[in-house]
Structure 1
Amino acid sequence: MARTPAPTALWPAPHASGAVDATVHVPGSKSVTNRALVLASLASEPGWLRRPLRSRDTLLMADALRAMGIEIEEGVGPDGTGEAWRVLPAGLRGPATVDVGNAGTVMRFLPPVATLADGPVHFDGDPRSHERPLHGVIDALRALGARIDDDGRGALPLTVHGVGALDGGPVEVDASSSSQFVSALLLSGPRFNQGVEVRHTGSTLPSLPHIQMTVDMLRAVGAQVDTPESGGEPGVWRVTPGALLGRDLTVEPDLSNAQPFLAAALVTGGRVVVPDWPARTTQPGDRLREIFTEMGGSCRLTDYGLEFTGSGAVHGIDVDLGDVGELTPGIAAVAALADSPSTLRGVAHLRLHETDRLAALTKEINELGGDVTETADGLRIRPRPLHGGVFHTYEDHRMATAGAVIGLAVEGVRIENVATTAKTLPDFPDLWTAMLGAA
C-alpha cells in the first residue's frame, strides 16, 4: 500500500470557473532528453541538444555524466538562438558518485555506462529509489562480465567497478517490471566490444513505445539495431558494436506532460493548443489523442501543433494502458469525473513506479468521495460526486498533476507537495494558473 507522507505545504488546486481556452508551450521530453544525453556522451564527436528539458531528472542525468568525466556546456545553439547543451564526450572515469534521485532513467541507464569507466562508480538516491527494481540491469551486466557490488539487494545503493570496457554479447533479461531494463542495455551496447543481444524472457513487456524510442534514437546516431519489428526474432534486440556520431538534435515537447492541459480542455469543455506536437513520434503521450477523444473530446493536428477541444461531456473508458502506463494517473483523474464507469487495464507494473501508483490513486480519489478499486492489473473507477480535501502526491509528479485535474471540477482540493512536479515538468503551478488565466 502506498504510504501517506508527512504533511508539507498544501497548494490550493485552482477551480475552473468556465471553459479553458489557452495555448500551452509544454517543455521538452524527459525521455528524449535523457536518452540523448547518454548517447551524446558515448559518441565519438561532440553533439548538440536543442531545447532540452531542464528538470530534476534531466539535471541529475547531466550531473551524473559530468561526474564520470563528460563535459556538458549549457548555453545557446550553434546558430546563436535557443537554449542548447553541447556535449563533449571524453574518456569515462572513476571514482565517481552518482545521485539518481528517484529517476528511473538515471538509475537504470547509467550502470551500463559506468562499466565503460576507468574506475568505480557509486550509485545512490532518494529512499524510494532503494525500493525500485534494478535487478534486471544488475543481473544482465554481471552476465556480460561486469563487477557490481549491491550486497545482494538487486537494488540501490550499488557500486559498478568499471575497467574501461565490457565484452558484451548475448544476455537474457526479464523486463516485465520495466522496459527501461532493455533500453539501458541497448543504449550502451554499441560501445561494448561485442555489442549486445538482449533477449526478454518475461511474460509481459510494458511501455514498448519507450523501447522503440531508444531504437530510433540509436539509429539516428549511426548504430545498427535489429529488432522484432524489423524482421528480427520476437523478444530479441541486437546492437552491433561501432562508433556513435555526434548529432544536432532538437527535443520534442513532452507529450505525457501535455496530459493535464489536454485533460483541462476535456473536463471544462474548453480548448487547449499545444504547439510543436510532432506528426510522428514514439512518445507514449501521443496516444492521448485517441484516448481523450474516446472520453469525449476532439483533436486536430496542424502545422502549428495539436488543438484539443472538449465537448462538455466526459465519458468513461475501458482501455489497456500497458504500453502507456505513465498516462494512467491523469486518465484515472478524468475517469473519476466521467458520466460512466471506467476500467484501466494492463498496468500492474505501476506498483513499482515513483510510488505504488495504483494504491495511491485508489486511496486519494476515494478520500475525496470517489469509488475506485484495484484490480490485479489496474483500476476500476465508478464516478461519484467528489468533495474537497487533501490530495497526497507521495513525491510522485504524476500524482500531483492528477490531483490538479480533479481540482478543476471539485472545489477545495489541496495538493500536498506540488513541487514534486519539478521532476519532469518545471514551473507546473505557473503553467497551470496561466492556462486558467487565459480562459
Structure 2
Amino acid sequence: MTDAPTWAAPCADGPIDARVRVPGSKSLTNRWLVLALLADGPSTLRHPLRSDDTLRMVGALRALGAEVDDQDPQAWVVRPPEGGPRGGVDVDCGQAGTVMRFVPPVAALADGPVRFDGHPSARARPVGPVLRALADIGVAVRETGTGTLPFEVVGPLRAAGGRTPHVRIDASASSQFVSALLLAGAAYPAGLRLEHTGTALPSLPHIEMTLDVLAEVGVHVDRPDPRSWLVPPGRVRAFDVAVEPDLSSAAPFLALAAATGGRVLVPGWPERTTQPGDRMREVLASVGARTEATPEGLLATGAPGGRLSGVDLDLAEVGELTPVVAALCALADSPSRLRGVAHLRGHETDRLAALAAELGRLGARAQELPDGLAIGPGDLVGARVRTYHDHRMVMFGAVVGAVVPGVVLEDPGAAGKTYPGFDLAWERAVGPAAGVGAG
C-alpha cells in the first residue's frame, strides 16, 4: 500500500454514448519543438499538447537558449537561439523519453557541456545507443551510469574532414534512438548517415512520423536501404503547423465504446496520419467492435452487450496501445496473445510485468511471454490497481473499471504525462454527462 492519491474509476451502468475531443499529439508536439529549436527563424505550433512531457521539452529548449512563448495554449511560438544552442546548462528530463533521447543530439551542437538528469524511474531507461552514436562522431560524452541518466554531452560538434559520418546503432530497444539522430542530422556540419544494426526495429510508424515532419521543414532523408537513412546537411525551415489530436490518447475512449457496447465519437480524426494510434481501428475490428469515419470524426461502436473476442495480435509497431488492448483482452470471452512488444520492458516501467501483475490482481489469467503477454478470461473483481508512475497504466485501469465495479487506481495524475485531466474527461464520458461531450 502506498500514500499515492487514488481514483475510483467510474463504472458504466450501460452502453455509453460520448463525444470526446482529445488533446494534441505528444509525439508530434515534441518533434516539432526539437525542429523549432534548429529552425532558421521563429516557428508556431498550433493546438500543441500541454502536458508533463511537452513542458519538459519546452524547458529543455529554454535551457538551450530558445525563447518559447506558450502563454496562448492554442499557439506556441518558438524563437531559436542566435548562434545555435548554448551550453553550460542543465536539462531536467523528468520521465520524458523523448527529452532524454531527442535532446542530446541537439546538445552536441551547443557551445559547451549540457547535463541531463530526470526522475528516478527514468534512470533505468536506455539512452546508450544515442550516446554511443554521438561519441562515434566525435562528441564528448561523460556518463556516471551505463547508457542511462545522468550524463553530460559536451559540444560543439566539429566537422571531420567534410565527410558524412556513418553511425551504426542497435535501435532494437526503441525507435526513438533513430528518430533522435534523424531530427538533428541536418544541422550537423556534414549531415549524418545512420544504420540500424539490430534485429527487429519496433514502432516503425514513429520513424515514418519523424521522416514526415522533416520533409515538411525541407529536410528530405534518403533511404540507401531499408535499414539505413542519409540526412544531408542543410537548413531547417521555420514553420507554422497544426498538431494532430493524439490518437493514442483516444485509444482508451474507443476501447470504452467496445467494452460497454456503446458509441464514442472522436472529432478531428485525421484522414491521413503517421501516428501509430490510428491502428486502434484495426484492433477494435479484431475484438468485434467497429469504427466509421464520419464528417464529424471517428465513430467507434461496440457489439451489443459489449461482447469482445479474444485476439492474437502483433503489436510491435504500436506498442503504446498494449495496455489498453490488454484491458480489452481481460474483458474478452476467449484467450488472447499479444506479441512483438518485448521493448515495453524499458518504458516508464516494465509494462509487461506491470500488466501481468495488475491483470492477476483483477482476477484475469495473465502470463508474461518473452515478447508479450498471454491473457485469459477470469472472474474479474474490483481491486486497487497500481499504475507505476505510468500514464498508459492509468488508461488500462480506467478501461477495466468501466465494466468491473470497484476498481480503484493509484496515482491517476500519472496520466498527465500525455493527457492532463484524463480522469475528468473519463468521468464525463462514462458518467451522466457523457451525451454532451467530454475532454
Is the structural similarity TM-score above 0.5? yes
Contact residue 138 and residue 157 of structure 2 kept, 8 A: no
**Counterpart position of 1:209:** 205
Question: 1:163: Cα distance to partner?
Answer: 1.8
- SS of 1:191's equivalent in the other structure is coil
Which consecutive residues of structure 2, in runs of 5 or more, have no partner in the other structure?
Answer: none
* Aligned partner (choices 293, 301, 316) of residue 285 of structure 2: 293
**Counterpart position of 2:137:** 144
- Matched residue type, 2:86: R
Instruction: Identify which range, 279-288 or 88-97, moves more after superposition.
Output: 88-97
- SS of 1:256's equivalent in the other structure is helix
User: Structure 1 segments of 4 or more deviating over 6 A?
Assistant: none
* Aligned partner (choices 106, 115, 124) of residue 117 of structure 2: 124
- Matched residue type, 1:66: R
* Aligned partner (choices 250, 253, 258) of residue 258 of structure 1: 250
- Matched residue type, 2:91: V
Question: 1:6: Cα distance to partner?
Answer: 3.4
* Aligned partner (choices 352, 356, 366) of residue 350 of structure 2: 356
Instruction: Give, in whole Å, the separation in 2 of the partners of 1:164 and 1:375.
Output: 43
Contact residue 115 and residue 166 of structure 1 kept, 8 A: no
Contact residue 22 and residue 273 of structure 1 kept, 8 A: yes
1:106 paired with 2:102, answer: no
Instruction: Give, in whole Å, the separation in 2 of the partners of 1:421 and 1:371.
Output: 26
1:284 paired with 2:280, answer: no
1:62 paired with 2:54, answer: no
- Matched residue type, 1:429: D
**Counterpart position of 1:174:** 170
CA offsets per residue over residues 275-312 of structure 1, 9 Å max, x none? 11001101000000111111111111123210111113
- SS of 1:432's equivalent in the other structure is helix
Contact residue 119 and residue 164 of structure 1 kept, 8 A: no
Question: 1:9: Cα distance to partner?
Answer: 1.6
CA offsets per residue over residues 370-396 of structure 1, 9 Å max, x none? 100011100000011200111100000
1:96 paired with 2:89, answer: yes
* Aligned partner (choices 9, 13, 20) of residue 17 of structure 1: 13
Contact residue 285 and residue 291 of structure 2 kept, 8 A: yes
Instruction: Give, in whole Å, the separation in 2 of the partners of 1:218 and 1:141.
Output: 20
**Counterpart position of 2:418:** 424
1:319 paired with 2:329, answer: no
Contact residue 92 and residue 164 of structure 1 kept, 8 A: no
1:267 paired with 2:259, answer: yes
- Matched residue type, 2:296: Y
CA offsets per residue over residues 228-251 of structure 1, 9 Å max, x none? xxxx31200111100010111100
- Matched residue type, 1:256: S
CA offsets per residue over residues 178-207 of structure 1, 9 Å max, x none? 000000000000000111111000011000
- SS of 1:301's equivalent in the other structure is strand
Contact residue 299 and residue 308 of structure 1 kept, 8 A: yes
Which structure 2 residues correspond to residues 335-354 of structure 1 after superposition, within 5 A?
335-354=329-348
Instruction: Give, in whole Å, the separation in 2 of the partners of 1:330 and 1:162.
Output: 41
- Matched residue type, 1:357: R
Instruction: Give, in whole Å, the separation in 2 of the partners of 1:337 and 1:12.
Output: 19
Instruction: Give, in whole Å, the separation in 2 of the partners of 1:159 and 1:326.
Output: 29
**Counterpart position of 2:184:** 188
Instruction: Give, in whole Å, the separation in 2 of the partners of 1:430 and 1:151.
Output: 41
1:413 paired with 2:407, answer: yes
Change (3 A) 1:69 1:317: same
Instruction: Give, in whole Å, the separation in 2 of the partners of 1:164 and 1:320.
Output: 40
- SS of 1:44's equivalent in the other structure is coil
Which consecutive residues of structure 1, in runs of 5 or more, have no partner in the other structure?
Answer: 77-81
Instruction: Give, in whole Å, the separation in 2 of the partners of 1:251 and 1:289.
Output: 21
Instruction: Give, in whole Å, the separation in 1 of the partners of 2:246 and 2:372.
Output: 24
1:244 paired with 2:236, answer: yes
Question: TM-score scaled to structure 2, two decimals?
Answer: 0.95
Instruction: Identify which range, 177-186 or 83-92, moves more after superposition.
Output: 83-92
Instruction: Give, in whole Å, the separation in 2 of the partners of 1:93 and 1:216.
Output: 28
- Matched residue type, 2:190: Q
Instruction: Give, in whole Å, the separation in 2 of the partners of 1:373 and 1:109.
Output: 34
Contact residue 133 and residue 169 of structure 2 kept, 8 A: yes
Instruction: Give, in whole Å, the separation in 1 of the partners of 2:352 and 2:196.
Output: 25
**Counterpart position of 1:390:** 384
Question: 1:333: Cα distance to partner?
Answer: 0.6
Question: TM-score scaled to structure 1, two decimals?
Answer: 0.95
Instruction: Give, in whole Å, the separation in 1 of the partners of 2:147 and 2:79.
Output: 32
1:197 paired with 2:193, answer: yes
- SS of 1:142's equivalent in the other structure is helix
Question: 1:165: Cα distance to partner?
Answer: 5.0
Instruction: Identify which range, 281-290 or 301-310, moves more after superposition.
Output: 301-310
Instruction: Give, in whole Å, the separation in 1 of the partners of 2:216 and 2:77.
Output: 17
Which structure 2 residues correspond to residues 362-381 of structure 1 after superposition, within 5 A?
362-381=356-375
